[in-house]
Amino acid sequence: MGQMGYKKEREKKRDRVVKEYLKGDLTYREMEERYSVASSTIHRWVKESEKAKEPAVWNGEVRRALVVKESELSSDVRQLRRELEEARLYNKLLNAMIDIAEDQFEIPIRKKRGAK
């Protein structure tokens, strides 16, 4: 097998491994055992494919974290997600209020770096 053949086979294997991981059935360690590829390598492949948004890899696939349906989550997880979203919105609101106050009153409210 020539250099090009090896690269193509490696790319095919990479795509197959990433697609299988994104299905959400196996962990990195389980994938490592199944494909004889280091879990750190699989992790890197998944991250690289996410960054590149490679059509061959992402072809309509949903990120592994989003594969779990809301109805399948325990009520505690759903509650924590709601609380996290509320906290994010509250933080956004507070930052907007500070920005408005700084603009209207021309008073620096946020602590500057290096201030003592």
Q: Which residue has the tokens 């603009």?
A: 103
Whether 101 and 53 map to the same domain: the answer is no
Q: Is residue 112 part of a domain?
A: no
Total domain count for the chain? 2
Sequence-distant (6+) residues with CB within 8 A of 78 are: 70
Domain that residue 84 falls in:
70-105
Assess whether pLDDT exceeds 80 at residue 96. Answer: yes
> Sign (positive/negative) of CA torsion 32, 35, 40, 46?
negative
Assess whether pLDDT exceeds 50 at residue 27. Answer: yes
Whether 60 and 76 map to the same domain: the answer is no
Q: What is the pLDDT of residue 89?
A: 95
How far apart (Å, rounded) are the C-alpha atoms in residues 12 and 28?
Answer: 18
Whether 61 and 77 map to the same domain: the answer is no
Whether 12 and 28 map to the same domain: the answer is yes
- Say what the pTM is: 0.43
Q: Is residue 50 part of a domain?
A: yes
Q: Is residue 8 part of a domain?
A: yes
CA 16 vs. chain centroid, Å, equals 19
